[in-house]
Amino acid sequence: MNPLHNLFSTAQPDWPALVQNIKHAAEFIRNDWPAAKHDLQKTAVLLDTQLPKLERSVHRAALFAKKDLPAMERSITRTADKIRDFERNNNLIDIIKALKNDAQKESDFLASPITLKEKKIFPIPNYGSAMTPFYTLLALWVGGMLLISSSE
């Protein structure tokens, strides 16, 4: 028997499916391949232009992770420890209450902590008018004393 005849006789039952697959492949090449080829070309151009940027970004991220990340991690850990220590040692509710106070009222109180209430017993319209009789009498007395003492 001819080996080629054996191959055809073995492949003959699968022949209709193979023909159908070849038809699908030809249809794909005829209809869909130009758009797929265009998309592949666009992808290749995009990879050529953007891949170096991506590579630089990955290198920057690796450099950041190597150099700056440990210091940042230590800083975050210290800050978290301080916050936990603050929460353990301080009553957060009291601090929130203090912060919720009316700042304007507190400012007014600190500006004038004592409120004076005046009760006028002998009302005087201004300071000079009520003192006039006293100073007039004083001036007359001093003048009289000087006159007496200089007559010799």
Taking only the tens place, the pLDDT of each residue in 130-139 is 788 888 899 9
- Predicted TM-score (pTM) above 0.75: no
Taking only the tens place, the pLDDT of each residue in 85-121 is 888 887 777 777 777 777 788 888 888 878 888 888 7
Higher-confidence residue: 120 or 145? 145
> How far is Cα 25 from Cα 31, in angstroms, rounded to an integer?
10
| Residue 11 reports pLDDT greater than 70 | no
- pLDDT band of residue 2 (cuts 50, 70, 90) is low
The full set of domain ranges for the chain reads 16-117
Task: Annotate 125-144 with three-state secondary structure.
Answer: CCHHHHHHHHHHHHHHHHHH
| Residue 23 reports pLDDT greater than 80 | yes
pLDDT of residue 81: 92
